[in-house]
Amino acid sequence: MSDDVTLYLGDCLDILPTLGKVDAVITDPPYPNNAGYFEDGISQARQFLSTYTADEWFVFWNELEHPPVPLPLVAVHIWQRSNVNGRPYEPVYHFHKDGRKRRSEVKAHAAVFDGVGPGCWEYEGHPTQKPIGLMKWLLEKCSGHIILDPFMGSGTTGVACVRTGRRFIGIEIDPTYFAIAQRRIAEAQAQPPLFPPSNSGFHLTPVGLWDADLGAAAGEP
């Protein structure tokens, strides 16, 4: 069975010691926000970002502080949420160990939420869900092939990785969102990707729960 996608249901801090080397981390972790989303996970996010080692990071965070990634900040990209009033911009902090400055860019793309209009067809019930096109845009800026998202949510980073032929490792602590991510990534694997990976299917780990080849949860008929 291939290693293209590995999913973990659990706390990323507990799983951290078992993780091998990845090329890049692309993630939208819990961070300080006025809406009160996932506030109980902010300290966990700070700890993971300051502890785990990877050569390149793309991290959504607020505009008042930088995420605590101990690497040189090489760019700050901006997502312009083209269908949102009030606070239409969200920064994505780009870190790289080589310290070489990159061009900071702006991506105009509709936000995903429970409603009617552009982007809303992607909505899966996650309050901070990111659009697939936005994550593919970040992947285009990423030099690595093995991508980790330790705060996977509904699995958008994984879907974008599958569609661009990258390997993906995802971690999610909430069983409901984990199940949504399983389904979405399995559906993405069932479609021809833009750049086909060498193999397909999920790699089952002790805490991984989904086998895309069988289309069933591990341990189920």
Query: Tens place of pLDDT for every residue, the chain, 221 residues?
Result: 246 999 999 999 999 999 989 999 999 999 887 777 888 889 999 999 999 999 999 999 998 899 999 999 999 999 987 666 667 889 999 999 999 999 999 998 877 665 555 566 566 666 667 889 999 999 999 989 999 999 999 999 999 999 999 999 999 999 999 999 999 999 999 886 455 444 444 444 434 444 333 333 333 33
**Quick check: 156 and 126 in contact, CB under 8 A?**
no
Question: What pLDDT was estimated at residue 200?
Answer: 41
Query: Taking the CB of residue 176, how many other CB atoms lie within 10 A of it?
Result: 11
CB under 8 Å to 12, separation ≥6 — which residues? 44, 48, 150, 151, 171, 173
CB under 8 Å to 5, separation ≥6 — which residues? 158, 161, 162, 167, 168, 169, 170, 185, 189, 201, 202, 203, 212
**Quick check: 76 and 91 in contact, CB under 8 A?**
yes
Question: What pLDDT was estimated at residue 87?
Answer: 75
Question: What pLDDT was estimated at residue 212?
Answer: 37
**Quick check: 147 and 24 in contact, CB under 8 A?**
yes
Question: What pLDDT was estimated at residue 48?
Answer: 96
- Is the domain 5-72+132-217 a CATH 3.40.50.150 member? yes
Question: What pLDDT was estimated at residue 112?
Answer: 64
Give the CA dihedral 126, 138, 148, 91, nearest 10 degrees: -60
Nearest of 132, 52, 134 to residue 95 by alpha carbon: 52
CA distance 130 to 136: 11
Q: Where are the domains of the chain?
A: 5-72+132-217
Question: What pLDDT was estimated at residue 32?
Answer: 82
